[in-house]
Amino acid sequence: MFFYHNDLKLYYQKSGHGPAIVLLHGNGEDHTIFSDLITYLAPHYTVIALDSRDHGQSARTDQLSYDAMTEDVAALISELALQRPIILGFSDGGIIALLLAIRHPELAGALIVAGANLTPQGLRWYSRILFRIAAGHRPSPKLAMMLHEPQITPAMLHTITMPTLVLAGSRDLIARKETFTIATHIQNAELHILPGETHNSYIRDNTKLWHLISPFLAGLRATD
């Protein structure tokens, strides 16, 4: 399915029935990274899996920023009249989830934030070097965005009040301190550092991801 935001054509997949959950993929990916997770979620939730601008089946554009992507998600929630959906975001999607909760706190009911960073300095030093080398060899708006954005402060995180699950691998390319900062400054956050996992290993294993988020989702249902 498609919708338009500021004349940009954006793709999303809609599945299942029940309370809404929005899935946001990482840089260079598309909604299919969550294919098996959608199968697990669909019996319990209305699952909306978005292809971010310049990704997947969504329109190509050089106008890339986390702020613009956040407004795309806000527009999708409004377009579909979703009632405070759960937002699950990985990597860039996790950044977008945080920004959505900061800029549009009325739109999200809960967050699952996996492998997100607050600033480019939140990436481990060797990851920043590799991204800079890659950007030098082949300039890319996607890489440029990662090297200059986001700029989320602890004070901004303090404004997030909805239940939040923060996930990261013990071998993540996000610095451990960055993940701790996210979880510490969100008022109602639960943190899990996953032993042996890399930045995306537990995301690509959708069965593992389902088991990781299921207790959090069950807790949300119990409080409804």
CB 48 within 8 A of CB 14: yes
Domains of the chain, by residue range, sit at 2-118+154-223
pTM (2 d.p.) = 0.95
pLDDT of residue 137: 60
The residue ranges of the chain whose pLDDT is under 50 are: none
CB atoms near residue 62 (< 10 Å):
7
Q: How far apart are CA 21 and CA 13, in angstroms?
A: 12
Q: How far apart are CA 165 and CA 43, in angstroms?
A: 21
> CATH classification of 2-118+154-223 is 3.40.50.970, yes or no?
no
pLDDT of residue 142: 86
Q: How far apart are CA 15 and CA 5, in angstroms?
A: 21
Q: For 88-145, write each residue's pLDDT tens digit.
A: 999 999 999 999 999 999 999 999 999 999 999 988 755 666 666 665 666 688 888 8
